[in-house]
Structure 1
Amino acid sequence: MASANEEALTIETQAEVVGARPGSALMRPVEVVAAALLLVIVSLLLTGVVARYVLHTPIVWVDEAASISFLWLAMLGAAIAVDRNEHLRLTVFLSLFPERLRGFVDTLALVIAITVLAALILPAVEYVREESYVTSAALKIPVSYRVSAIVLGLALMLLVAIKHLLASSSMADIAKSVAVVAALGVVGWLLSPVFLGLGHSNILIFLVGVAAFCLVLGVPIAFCFGMGTIAFLTFSTHVPMIVMIGRMDEGMSSLILLSVPIFVLLGCILDATGMGKAIVEFMASLLGHVKAGMSYVLLGSLFLVSGISGSKVSDMATVAPALFPEMKRRGHKPKEMIALLATGAAMADTVPPSIVLIVLGSVAGVSIAALFTSGFVIAMVLLLALAVLARWKARGESMEGVQRASFKVIRTALLIAAPALLLPFIIRGAVGGGIATATEVSTIAVLYAFIIGIVLYGGIRPAKMYSMLVETAALSGAILLILGTASAMAWALTQTGFAHQLAGYMRDLPGGWFTYMLVTIVVFIVLGCVLEGLPAIVLMAPLMFPIAKQMGIHDVHYAMVVVTAMNIGLMAPPIGIGFYIACKIGQVSPDEAMGAIWPYLGALVVGLLIIAAVPALSIAYL
């Protein structure tokens, strides 16, 4: 089953896409526009930084112009991601279907995605019409210029999805899939009077049941949330669909999220210039001669490289090729190496500039600076837990022929790596110290990495740079569409009054706040397995964080527990997507690695329980 999962996963990475198809000629002009928009956003943000911090004359319209460009980038990027098959989806269950049904199931999943897009276009047009009466604060232009991106993005996604449907599916499968979706729609419509009287049961039927059904079929996660919310609003409420478009717009448009595509681009530059490889080589020269030294190097490199890229996938793709050959020579088993790689990436996900922390800060209203400061220390706790286990595992490691690197070698490696090593500390120091926002720092970091990459690390070819811009647009679009549809679903959940009842139930649990922490750990480990990180956070943070605050839990402490639990779930087989990505990067069979990862996940769980039980680890230095 695991090998089938590995083949089926469709996950965007910084350097490659597992199972992705190349972009079609139809979308080439869109790719050019998206790449240009990303450059415009970076230029606008840099202009704002220079005006504010150098000239001391802030330009008031810069943020607004960047916000307009950002929504257009998100929607065009989402269309590119549909074209390239790069939207995140869970296909672990597809291998359970009989071979003869898989073609039909794939077709049904695509028809469901098309249905979501078709259902949203007219409400999006109405939303644009409503927003045309509103004028922007700084540029004094109708807001419809910005939200028109939603209509165009949905239309492009619909067009591309239909094109792929006709190209990849038989007419028989298409007809059966359309019939199934139409029949379910008719049944839902006929039962609407019944659903209107069911109250909170509709949450289980639509927001859980429909979304879970789509997830099992392999529908991209953004469209799973979209279908669940559309069905809920249509069949069990009188709320117009335009409200869902507004919530999607709100979920994708926070200024804090502007840093997401910038940090994604930063990860691409890290890969292309070899800055990450320089860090790995320096760490190896420093620690490679001690027992378990290469394991320490792997963990330390993930810690430092994560401070530059903000992406688990980029971290693993940078570190594994540089270290695995030497680790194999010293007798490390491939399955142990994959286990350490996967859990090390989970450990490092709270190291600034973590995209997960940025999104969490935006959704839950928590200070990004505080999250960055706390995340650095929390990652150290988890690093220590993994390092202790790695040392015990390496008790029989062969050190034959291993020599300590000379001072000259270490000095040379340090000189090469120093510009790259400075970057994570610049990012953490600037945001954590309140000197600049995460968005401003991400822009400065991109400029710094680009210049250093050209001067010291060989530069980036123009063709590669264009490819990086398009990859960044596609990944950003996929992420932001998930955030948009998850925000709409989260809003639907809160409007039912379910959150208030859940808070009352949680307050009555025996054991007080720590019992709530344990419930949180279980919930986010499970959601991390099934939904990946960002959707789980956007969906559950509006429900869970207010309850935590009522129970006296500090929001930063709670955030650290949430993110760590979610990352453990992400790497937990047999469903956790991150585990399969690590296996793909390390070229090891998931079947072989599955048994080896549990002790490492156990070490992370021990670290997580310590973090949950000792709030001072998260908040003592804020």
Structure 2
Amino acid sequence: MIAVLILVFIVCLVLRFPIAFSLGISCLAYVLVKGIPLVILPAKMYSGIDVFILLSVPGFILSGNLMNAGGLTEKIIAFCNHLMGHIRGGLALANIGTSMLFAGISGTAISDTASIGAVIIPAMKKEGYEAGFSCAVTASSSTVGPIIPPSVPMIIAATLSGLSVGRLFLAGAIPGLLLGMGMMGVAYYISKKRKYPKHPRSSFKQVAKGFLDTFWSLLMTFIILFGIVGGIFTPTEASIIAVLYALLIGTFVYKKLNLKNIQHIVLDSMKTSASLMVLIGFANLFGWILLTERLPQVISEGILDFSNNKFVVLLLINILLIFVGTFMETIAALLVLFPILLKVALAVGVDPIHFAVIAVLNLMIGLTTPPVGICLFVSSSIGKVSMTEVSKSSLPFLGISFLVLILVTLFPEISLFLPKLFMD
């Protein structure tokens, strides 16, 4: 019967159904063929979303949209350009720096690519950067955001495993910084080789003004992270605080929010949150069927029969997650695969916090892995460049991403140092 589930799921993906509907239709097909009462569908979907910590996701989505509508993207780009614009390829470096700072506002790679790319890709093309390079930098750097806290994928991983959100946030900080700094090194090398433009050094006054313009938004990230880590409030409470903070800053400091655009922002955030909750509900139903058919145990036994070596097992998991990440959205992939693979990792002695970072990092890399990486598609459509050209230009950045993944996999302390320092 499991063949029916997987076959229908694959057919729906090939027909380009949304991933949530692909999961739902395949589950319906399985239930009908198996003769299970249809009441199981809403029951299992509801149990999947009836988790307190998931209440934080709509809050973070809304707060991010409120801050972004306040003109935050342009302010962060301007600040990063003041800091790095005088270096060869400064706008490319500012692009990556913006993604690192934007991480606390967005939390998802696709929204990062779309929001930042809409502003900075045309600006880079206008200054003489190759279109493929501009799109590749934007898509690749967007994968840094969901590693650096706060991160929606990390919240989902915590929901699925019962791990501490605060620990996961801290665990992603150093890998995220390594990824961002590595990409900056690649961007600088390519820019210097191709003689991309640089600007006159900004004055201290311009840098200070740029910092003040972004200070209030960056303070929100600080409040969220250290409030959760310090035990002052839960992730769900933090998301509500973030919404109230974003409303106050966007209305009285940035002065770009009003009743009319707030209504549109709330509506868009509701649509995004609702689609995400439907996805989580269907994924929980999909996971229940997999458990019923003992597929997780079969996969676990298959991997462990192949090898009991921790690093060999992690290598196999890395390959699987990168492959899945190329065509499946990050949260959907986490919902379906993370609980299964976590059991395998625990069986060979991998720390669950360490494994969660590996899983999220893998799926982020998959978003920019040719030929199907979703973020590559988004950036290529913004830059009006062929997918082939963007894929080719993204290869050096992909190489750095794989290097960071190898380091994080082989050296657990890269992920575990901060959680142990602040929470043990």
Relative distance call for 1:599 and 1:241 in structure 2 (3 A) is same
Q: Which of 19, 31, 46 is equivalent to 1:233?
A: 31
Residue equivalent to 2:370? 573
Decide whether aligned partners of structure 1 residues 229 and 455 sit closer, same or farther in structure 2, where only a CA change above 3 A counts: same
Give the secondary structure class of the aligned counterpart of 2:170: helix
Aligned to 1:266: 63
Give the counterpart letter for 1:224 in structure 2. S
Unaligned runs of 5+ in 1: 1-201
Q: Secondary structure at the match of 2:142?
A: helix
Task: Output the CA distance in 1 between the equivalents of 2:18 and 2:124.
Answer: 37
Q: What is the Cα-based RMSD across aligned positions, in Å?
A: 1.9
Match of 1:303 among 81, 100, 118: 100
CA distance in 1, matches of 2:259, 2:108: 23
Q: Match of 1:508, SS?
A: helix
Other-structure match for 2:408: 611
- Aligned residue number for residue 113 of structure 2: 316
- Provide structure 2 residue ranges, at least 5 long, that are not aligned to the other structure: 420-424
CA drift of 1:559 comes to 0.8
**CA distance in 2: counterparts of 1:455 and 1:397, whole angstroms:** 44
Map of 1:427 onto structure 2? 224
Shift of 1:391: 2.0
Q: Which residue of 1 aligns with 2:133?
A: 336
2:250 aligned with 1:490, yes or no?
no
Aligned-pair CA distance for 1:347: 2.0
- With the length of structure 1 as denominator, give the TM-score of the two structures: 0.65
Q: Distance in 1 between matches of 2:141 and 2:384?
A: 17
When residues 325 and 222 of structure 1 are mapped into structure 2, their CA distance, relative to the original with a 3 A threshold, is: closer
* Alpha-carbon contact 2:51-2:159 (below 8 Å) kept: yes
Aligned residue pair count? 419
Q: Distance in 2 between matches of 1:360 and 1:207?
A: 24
Q: Percent identity?
A: 29
Give the Å deviation of 1:620.
Answer: 2.0
After TM superposition, list the pairs within 5 Å mapping 1:387-398 onto structure 2: 387-398=184-195
SS of 2:105's partner is: helix
The yes-or-no answer on 1:504 pairing with 2:301 is yes
Change (3 A) 1:493 1:407: same
Q: TM-score, normalised by structure 2?
A: 0.93
SS of alignment partner, residue 316 of structure 1: helix
1:298 CA displacement? 1.2
Which residue does 1:378 correspond to in 2?
175
CA-to-aligned-CA distance 1:479-523 (integer Å, 9 cap, x gap)? 111111111111111122222232222223336111111111111
Task: Work out the CA distance in 1 between the residues paired with 2:364 and 2:390.
Answer: 18
Please say which structure displays the higher CA radius of gyration.
1
Q: 2:8 aligns with which of 185, 210, 213?
A: 210
- Aligned residue type for 1:309: S
| 1:561 alignment partner AA | I
Mapping 1:54-65, distance limit 5 Å: none
Determine the structure 2 residue equivalent to 1:584: 381
Aligned residue among 250, 268, 273 for 1:471? 268
> Retained in 2: the 8 A contact 1:276–1:420?
no
Match of 1:161 in 2: none
Residues 385-437 of structure 1, C-alpha deviations (whole Å, 9 max, x = no match): 21221122112354767211011111122222211221222222112232211
Contact kept, 8 Å, 2:279 with 2:332, in 1: the verdict is: yes
Which letter maps to 2:14?
V
Q: Is the 8 A contact 2:109 2:142 kept in 1?
A: yes
- Equivalence for 2:164: 367
- State the 1:326 CA deviation: 5.0
Deviations, residues 422-473 of structure 1 (Å, cap 9, x unaligned): 1222222112232211111111111111111111212313221111111111
Report what 1:114 is aligned to. Answer: none
Matches within 5 A, 1:92-103: none
SS of equivalent residue, structure 2 residue 199:
coil
| Mapping 1:474-553, distance limit 5 Å | 474-510=271-307, 512-553=309-350
- 1:8-87 to 2 correspondences below 5 Å: none
| Contact 1:304 1:424 survives alignment (8 Å) | no
Conserved 8 A contact 1:276-1:319: yes
Is the Cα contact below 8 Å between 1:206 and 1:229 reproduced in 2?
no
- Of 286, 289, 299, the residue aligned with 2:86 is 289
Q: Work out which structure has the larger RCO, using CA pairs closer than 8 Å and 6 or more positions apart in sequence.
A: 2
Output aligned runs, 1:243-262, within 5 Å: 243-262=40-59
**Structure 2 match to 1:62:** none
| 1:514/1:613 contact within 8 Å kept | yes
Task: Work out the CA distance in 2 between the residues paired with 1:340 and 1:399.
Answer: 14
CA contact (8 A) 2:367 2:373 kept: yes
Give the deviation of 1:317 after TM superposition. Answer: 3.6
Mapped partners of 2:240, 2:280: distance in 1: 22
How far is the alpha carbon of 1:344 from its aligned partner? 0.5
Task: Give 1:617 shift.
Answer: 0.7
CA distance in 2 between partners of 1:519 and 1:375 (Å): 22
- Counterpart secondary structure, 1:296: helix
1:595 is the counterpart of 2:403: no
In structure 2, how many angstroms separate the alpha carbons of the residues matched to 1:368 and 1:451?
A: 26
- Name the residue aligned to 1:351: 148
Q: What SS does the corresponding residue of 2:418 show, helix, strand or coil?
A: coil
Residue identity opposite 1:229 in structure 2 = C
CA contact (8 A) 2:90 2:198 kept: no
How many Å apart are 1:355 and its aligned residue? 1.2
Equivalents in 1 of 2:125, 2:332: separation in Å?
36
Contact 1:385 1:603 in 2 (8 A): yes
Amino acid at match of 1:264: I
C-alpha distance in 2, partners of 1:416/1:555?
39
